[in-house]
């Protein structure tokens, strides 16, 4: 009896499997028939819309690529695309759509082509070597694209990269510069010193450089951004170097360039680092405040204006070591474009920064605000007038 029951069960199971297989084959046959009918239908039987789509359809081969670009951020609400405001990405995407670098669908949803910026620069912040990774066609005309971009935005080069490359995640470090009139280092109120005649004394400059070096290393920067807590692991940031170049004079006004290199930066971080350092060097705060800022004590740190901040260099050392000499890809180094980059800096970046400072003197207005800044006033943390 047991053998008979098992035999019947096996026969029933085999019958079920056979029935499912026949049903699947029947469905597949009907699907293939409909598919052939669609493809083999005479053009007269197709709708006008479908015929137009078939006639215009051309499959374009795309590869993961990077775009190297620079821009003056004075008139833009940052790099990242935002509705109802002027952004660098909106200008770039619009130009790429016009020149068929991307499709209309990709313009609406850039994530569909892997669009990723290396660094998000905020309102008023410029960049000279920003990088965007995305899928692009192979045959591109950079000069034609630039002709439809505003003069303050410039694409320097396009390179193909590995399929898994991400301009943000694969970036090992970022270098920013900050250009400011040296009168910001004066311990006088702005109205008591003239930008045209002030020259920073060497001892003040050396002390300023020493204060900048305090930021180097891994420290908790929860006070140098917004909406971060001391115990949040992401508040810890590694600063490789923070320096100040020797001053130079333009149209009678002395300027200095600060350079900070770090693994990554949070919103407002660099501007707040500079704001606190200037507050100390001008005598509004004690140097002990700098060390306290890295502790759990919550304080409201002033942030310097965004005008002088520039994303200078993105560092892809690990990628370059692994793929730069594999015979297929090229390292993400831009020496061959440096002359064009420097020309863009001279014409579109530095004149805007130094020219605005010389003409409108926004730094003096900010220094006046700095003298009255309350480090304990948490209510103004997100509502300062010098917004990014």
* More confident: 253 or 14: 253
- Are residues 133 and 184 located together in one domain of the fold? no
Query: Considering the domain boundaries, does residue 225 fall inside one?
Result: yes
Query: Considering the domain boundaries, does residue 258 fall inside one?
Result: yes
**Identified catalytic residue from 105, 122, 326, 335:** 122
Question: What integer pLDDT is reported at residue 385 of this predicted model?
Answer: 34
Where a domain ends, among 121, 138, 160? 160
Residue 382 pLDDT greater than 60, yes or no: no
- Are residues 208 and 67 located together in one domain of the fold? no
Domain total of the chain: 2
- Is 122 a residue of the active site? yes
- Give the 3-state DSSP-derived string for the chain, with helices as H, strands as E and coil as C: CHHHHHHHHHHHHHHHHHHHHHHHHHHHHHHHHHHHHHHHCCHHHCCHHHHHHHHHCCCCCEEEEEEEEEECCCCCCCCCCCCCCCCHHHHHHHHHHHCCCCCHHHHHCHHHHCCEECCCCCCCCEEEEEEEEEEEECCCCHHHHHHCCCCCEEEEEEEECCCCCCCCCCCCEEEEEEEEEHHHHCCCCHHHCCCCCCCCCHHHHHHHHHHHHCCCEEEECHHHCCCCCCCCHHHEEEEEEEEECCCEEECCEEEEEEEEEECCCCCCHHHHHHHHHHHHHCCCCCCHHHHHHCCCCCCCCCCCCCCCEEEEEEECHHHHHHHCCCCCCCCCCCHHHHHHHHHHHHHHHHHHHHHHHHHHCHHHHHHHHHCCCCCCCHHHCCCCCCCC
Query: Considering the domain boundaries, does residue 249 fall inside one?
Result: yes
CATH of the domain at 177: 3.30.70.660
Q: Residue 9's pLDDT band (boundaries 50, 70, 90)?
A: confident
Query: Phi/psi zone of residue 236: left (φ > 0), alpha (ψ -120 to 50 degrees), beta?
Result: beta
Stretch 326-347: mean pLDDT: 94
Residue ranges of the binding site = 176
CATH of the domain at 120: 3.30.70.580
Are the CB atoms for 60 and 137 separated by under 8 Å?
Answer: yes
Closest by CA position to 298, among listed 218, 371, 224, 234: 224
Place of tokens 């420097």: 342
- Are residues 205 and 134 located together in one domain of the fold? no
For 178, other C-beta atoms within 10 Å of its C-beta total 24
Where a domain ends, among 160, 182, 198? 160
Are the CB atoms for 345 and 69 separated by under 8 Å?
Answer: no
- Are residues 76 and 202 located together in one domain of the fold? no
- Are residues 298 and 235 located together in one domain of the fold? yes
Range of the domain at 231: 173-321+334-371
- Are residues 354 and 271 located together in one domain of the fold? yes
Token pair of 225 as six digits: 């951004």
The Cα 87–Cα 268 span in angstroms is: 18
Place of tokens 């300023």: 208
- Are residues 292 and 347 located together in one domain of the fold? yes
The Cα 239–Cα 236 span in angstroms is: 10
Closest by CA position to 346, among listed 128, 146, 177: 128
The Cα 162–Cα 142 span in angstroms is: 21
Where a domain ends, among 95, 129, 160? 160
Contacts of 210 (CB under 8 A, 6+ apart): none
- Are residues 96 and 191 located together in one domain of the fold? no
Query: Considering the domain boundaries, does residue 131 fall inside one?
Result: yes
- The percentage of the chain sitting over the pLDDT mark of 90, rounded to a whole number, equals 69
Query: Considering the domain boundaries, does residue 10 fall inside one?
Result: no
Token pair of 119 as six digits: 């660094």
Question: What integer pLDDT is reported at residue 20 of this predicted model?
Answer: 77
- Are residues 189 and 96 located together in one domain of the fold? no
Closest by CA position to 388, among listed 279, 289, 265: 265
For 268, other C-beta atoms within 10 Å of its C-beta total 22
For 369, other C-beta atoms within 10 Å of its C-beta total 13
Q: Residue 388's pLDDT band (boundaries 50, 70, 90)?
A: very low
For residue 271, which phi and psi values (nearest 5 degrees)? Answer: -65, -35
Query: Considering the domain boundaries, does residue 184 fall inside one?
Result: yes
Query: Considering the domain boundaries, does residue 19 fall inside one?
Result: no
Residue 15 pLDDT greater than 50, yes or no: yes
- Are residues 155 and 195 located together in one domain of the fold? no
- Are residues 246 and 107 located together in one domain of the fold? no
pLDDT tens digits, residue range 96-143? 999 999 999 999 999 999 999 999 888 889 999 999 999 999 889 999
Residue ranges of the binding site for substrate = 176
- Are residues 227 and 352 located together in one domain of the fold? yes
The Cα 272–Cα 270 span in angstroms is: 5
pTM value is: 0.80
Query: Considering the domain boundaries, does residue 382 fall inside one?
Result: no
Are the CB atoms for 81 and 94 separated by under 8 Å?
Answer: no
Task: Provide the mean pLDDT of the chain.
Answer: 88
Token pair of 182 as six digits: 């040296």
Token pair of 151 as six digits: 């003069």
């Amino acid at each position: 009896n047991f053998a008979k029951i098992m035999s019947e069960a096996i026969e029933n199971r085999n019958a079920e499997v056979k029935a499912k297989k026949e049903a699947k084959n029947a469905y597949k046959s009907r699907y293939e028939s409909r598919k052939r009918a669609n493809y083999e239908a005479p053009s007269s039987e197709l709708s006008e819309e479908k015929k137009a789509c078939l006639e215009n359809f051309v499959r374009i081969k795309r590869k993961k690529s990077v775009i190297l670009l620079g821009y003056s951020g004075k008139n833009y609400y940052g790099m990242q695309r935002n509705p109802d405001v002027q952004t660098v990405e909106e200008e770039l995407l619009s130009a790429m759509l016009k020149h068929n670098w991307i499709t209309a669908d990709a313009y609406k949803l850039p994530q569909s082509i892997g669009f990723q910026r290396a660094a998000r620069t905020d309102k008023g912040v410029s960049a000279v070597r920003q990088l965007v990774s995305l899928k692009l066609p192979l045959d591109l005309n950079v000069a034609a694209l630039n002709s439809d971009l505003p003069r303050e935005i410039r694409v320097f080069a396009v390179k193909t990269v590995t399929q898994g490359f991400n301009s943000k995640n694969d970036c090992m470090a970022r270098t920013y510069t900050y250009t400011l009139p040296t009168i910001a280092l004066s311990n006088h109120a702005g109205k008591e010193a003239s930008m045209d005649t002030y020259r920073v004394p060497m001892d003040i400059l050396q002390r300023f450089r020493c204060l900048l070096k305090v930021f180097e290393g891994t420290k908790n920067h929860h006070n140098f951004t917004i909406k971060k807590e001391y115990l949040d692991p992401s508040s810890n940031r590694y600063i490789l170097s923070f320096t100040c170049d020797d001053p130079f004079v333009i149209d009678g006004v002395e300027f200095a360039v600060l350079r900070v290199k770090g693994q990554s930066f949070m919103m407002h971080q660099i501007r707040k680092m500079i704001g606190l350092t200037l507050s100390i060097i001008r005598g509004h705060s004690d140097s002990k405040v700098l060390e306290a800022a890295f502790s759990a004590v919550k304080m409201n740190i002033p942030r310097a204006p965004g005008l002088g901040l520039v994303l200078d260099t993105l560092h892809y050392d690990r990628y370059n070591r692994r793929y730069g000499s594999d015979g297929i890809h090229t390292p993400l180094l831009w020496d061959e474009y440096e002359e064009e980059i420097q020309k863009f800096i001279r014409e579109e970046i530095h004149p805007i920064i130094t020219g605005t400072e010389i003409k409108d003197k926004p730094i003096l207005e900010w220094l006046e605000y700095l003298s009255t800044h309350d480090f304990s006033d948490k209510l103004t943390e997100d509502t300062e007038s010098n917004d990014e």
